[in-house]
Amino acid sequence: MTMNRRFFLGAAAGTLATMGAAAPNPASAQTARPTASGQSLDYRSVSELRALLDARKVSAVELFEHAVGRIEALDLRINAVVVRDFERARASAREADAALARGERRPLLGIPMTVKESFNVGGLPTTWGLPSGRDWQAPEDAVTVARLKAAGAVILGKTNLATAIADWQGFNPIYGTTNNPWDIKRTAGGSSGGSAAALAAGYVPLELGSDLSGSIRAPAHLCGVFGHKPTSNLVPQRGHAPPRASALPTDLTSGLGVCGPMARTAADLSFALDVIAGPDEAEAAAYRLTLPPPRHGALKDFRVLLVDNHPLLPVEGEIRAALDQLANRLAAAGAKVARSSPLLPDMAESARLHTRMVRNFVAFGSPPEFFKKAQEEVAALKPDDDSLKAWRTRAPLLNHHQWMAGEIARARLRQQWAGLFREFDVVLCPPFSVVAFPHDQRPDGEQRTIHIDGETHPYPSLIVWSTVATPPGLPATVMPVSRSKAGLPIGVQIIGPLLEDRTPLAFAALLEREFGGFTRPPEMQL
């Protein structure tokens, strides 16, 4: 199927403009109750649930019923789990209990979870929030979903996303708006907004998301959970495709897009990555995955570079203050912390590179009139206009030679980052320039604005912090580290060396152990 612009930018403008947040329903509150075995299951991690299941202190059916009860009680306010597959999930939970009784042990056997709607799950709809996909059901599971099921996961359903997975807010004309559990008047982020909200609301301990321009990292930051953008091509993407598209064993984004886990602990991210990573079956005959171990096992041994300012968009003062405090605590713990380095690649050029390649990719297959209009808009630009908006405008018209020049620029970026990571082990930076903001569903993203410390900036410029790790294909882990004065989550993005995913994941686990991690939203104290 042709991948055209409708899949990324198209939507029913009138529908989006009138779509609002789900109304609060105080009567839907569910109290935290123990199971029949006396175990309280609210906000348990995969590791904790795995131990309870293996010790037969709780059953997979009990975990299923607890998760479903919480979804049914709270999701009218949040609207995270938009495709529900509870009957098949109940049957899977029963099968898991039978397997456990036989002595079987698999990494996720009996663990309830949900996946982003953009992943194919056999027999369930995959729409990407597009009306054109409303009546289509996937014939088979995506590779990642199949691996999760093979590991024993009980898939309850699918979570909401941005239209065509192309926004930092989670709303679309099919499923409506996902609200942030920390404040339902604010966005949970996008495009994996439903995934992050489901975790923050305590429905499930594990989620599967995807990330092209921060779609895992931004929602994790905005909802106060953990997310990991793996190294490019580490996790197969077959079956993560628009409705009716062929499930091909290839990455149409040239390594810019990835699939990755989301959770409430760093350990669960690592756990899930072990399950889903590795070559597609079409390549597995020749390749095996062996990730290097983390560089260090203690915070005091890490060499850390903190970058909290981007040349193309400011960062909210509260976010910078939180990262500054984190850097000070790391230094006090014995880590070597630097605030600048001449080895850091040009972040402005990286942002421009990412913008022109992603925008060119999403324009593929658009009708002739789209390109005619693009030509007119480019002709109106000044030749020396180097703004992100100018590159968004020019991007659809890049020819093959210009695309290849972009690939060469990405290769040079990888070389530069390799040099930096000979001097540092991780780079810390913001995942996003702002904390969770009020819903803004104006159809034209170019007309939206974002407010940063009293100043107004273009909404599309929020892309900048995702463009640090994405063009070179680096792994990046996001975790919560603080809260704003308004009580909203603030996260940190931990970027690691290429193919050394275990290093940022281990660093996140050490931060979590020393300074704390996920905290449930006050509204979810139920």
Catalytically active residues are 116, 191, 215
- What residues contact 479, with CB distance under 8 A and at least 6 apart? 220, 226, 266, 491, 492, 494, 508, 511, 512, 517
Output the DSSP codes for 178-240.
PEETTEEEEE--SSSHHHHHHHHTTS-SEEEEEESSSTTHHHHHHHT-EEEEPSTTSS--TTB
Instruction: Please give the radius of gyration of the chain, using alpha carbons only, rounded to the nearest integer.
Output: 22
Q: Find out whether 502 and 508 touch, Cβ atoms under 8 Å.
A: no
Instruction: Find all residues with CB under 8 Å of 498, minimum gap 6, and list them.
Output: 231, 414, 417, 418, 421, 472, 473, 474, 475
**DSSP one-letter string for 11-72:** --HHHHHH--PPPP-GGG-----B-TTS-B-TT--HHHHHHHHHTTSS-HHHHHHHHHHHHH
Of 262, 255, 258, the residue nearest 230 (C-alpha): 258
